[in-house]
Amino acid sequence: MSTRASTLTGRIMSAPSIIVLFLWMAVPLGMTIYFSFLRYNLLSPGMEEWIGTLNYEFFLTDPAFFASLANTLLLVGSVLIITVVGGILLGLMLDQPIFGRGILRLLVIAPFFIMPTVNALVWKNLLMDPVSGMFAWIASLFGLPAIDWFTNAPLTSIIIMVSWQWLPFAVLILLTALQSLDRDQKEAAQMDGAGPVSIFFYITLPHLSRAITVVVLIETIFLLTVFAEIFVTTGGGPGLATTNIAFLVYTQALLQFDVGGASAGGIVAVVLANIVAIFLIRLIGKNLDN
């Protein structure tokens, strides 16, 4: 693949897919940007007109925007902390030669294969339901009152569900990284007089830094757009307690039929996601170098 002819052939042959991919991205983005400058409500068809940045002003000054921004960051941050810390601990456990390790690994990975809507329904109806849920039953065993999760701790409930869904991913990546840790290094540290805790902080954790970076970056991308779990359980409520940016855009477009406002919200979400991405890459992305 080094002659001029073969390079040219390569470019020509790959051009169609690249062009399609580019259009796939650019057309919806372009249309969304265009819509975001229109008064465009499905309840009054044919009344579309150019209103400049009014949609943005309206969206960004909406108190719901700040509430949902805070919820988004809280959700992403909490799930990241829970999955990374939990992932390291579970990874360390599954890295030990314990009885039934193969089956245990399979069980730990399993939640990742369950689709978010089903996940949310299982948690809502089987586990967290204050009347027939398992948590209520466990509480009753101790003579405690049942907790009405989605009323009293709505965002916490969402965080628990999403963490459960994403923990396997973190475990999977971190376990692979743990398995690639050179045994000699641990033994050298042992000879140097380091105990298990020192070995963890001085040898294991630095070794995991790159894997942790990957987990944080990939999870952030998906967690910024959590939707199914909220839609199935709380519907964004009570009030705005569990509305994140993605869900807010959805309510604008499909509950208030305001396509223009929803488009502006979508663009804001894209910009926010990029800010987070730049921030993350600056902060931890340098781990991926070398």
Residue reference for tokens 């964004």: 236
Tell me how far, at minimum, the Cβ of 132 lies from other proteins, in Å.
Answer: 51
Whole-number Å distance between alpha carbons of 207 and 278: 24
How far is it, in rounded angstroms, from Cα 41 to Cα 143? 53
Q: Does 184 bind other proteins (CB under 8 A)?
A: yes
Any contact of residue 189 with other proteins (CB under 8 A)?
yes
Q: Can residue 202 be called a binding residue for other proteins (CB under 8 A)?
A: yes
- The backbone region for 143, taken as left when phi is positive above 0, alpha when psi lies in -120 to 50, beta otherwise, is left
Q: In the bound complex, what is the minimum distance in angstroms from residue 212's beta carbon to other proteins? A: 13
> Which range, of 20-28, 95-103, 190-198, 252-260, touches other proteins by CB under 8 A?
190-198
Q: Which of 194, 214, 273, 276 is the binder for other proteins (CB under 8 A)? A: 194
d(CA 157, CA 13): 50
The least distance separating other proteins from the CB of residue 215, rounded to whole angstroms, comes to 18
Which of these segments, 16-24, 63-71, 194-202, 248-256, binds other proteins (CB under 8 A)? Answer: 194-202
Radius of gyration of the chain (CA): 24
198 makes contact with other proteins (CB under 8 A): yes
Residue 57 binds other proteins, judged by CB under 8 A? no
Residue closer to other proteins, measured from CB, 204 or 251: 204
Q: How far is the CB of 216 from other proteins (least distance, A)?
A: 18
Stretch that binds other proteins, among 55-63, 153-161, 169-177, 189-197 (CB under 8 A): 189-197
- Is 272 an interacting residue with respect to other proteins (CB under 8 A)? no
Distance from chain centroid for Cα 108: 19
By the rule CB under 8 A, 185 interacts with other proteins? yes
Chosen residue from 177, 178, 203, 253 binding other proteins by CB under 8 A: 203
- Cβ 137 to other proteins shortest distance, Å: 46
Binding range to other proteins, per CB under 8 A, among 157-165, 202-210, 217-225, 256-264: 202-210
Q: Does 284 bind other proteins (CB under 8 A)?
A: no
Contacting residue, 14, 125, 209, 274, with other proteins by CB under 8 A: 209
Retrieve residue 22's tokens: 């580019």
d(CA 232, CA 30): 30
Judged by CB under 8 A, does residue 188 bind other proteins?
yes
Answer for which of 52, 206, 238, 239 binds other proteins (CB under 8 A) is: 206
Amino acid present at 259? V
- Residues 238, 187: Cα–Cα separation, whole Å: 54
Q: Is residue 192 close enough to count as binding other proteins by CB under 8 A?
A: yes
Contact set with other proteins (CB under 8 A):
182, 184-185, 187-194, 198, 202-203, 206-207, 209, 290
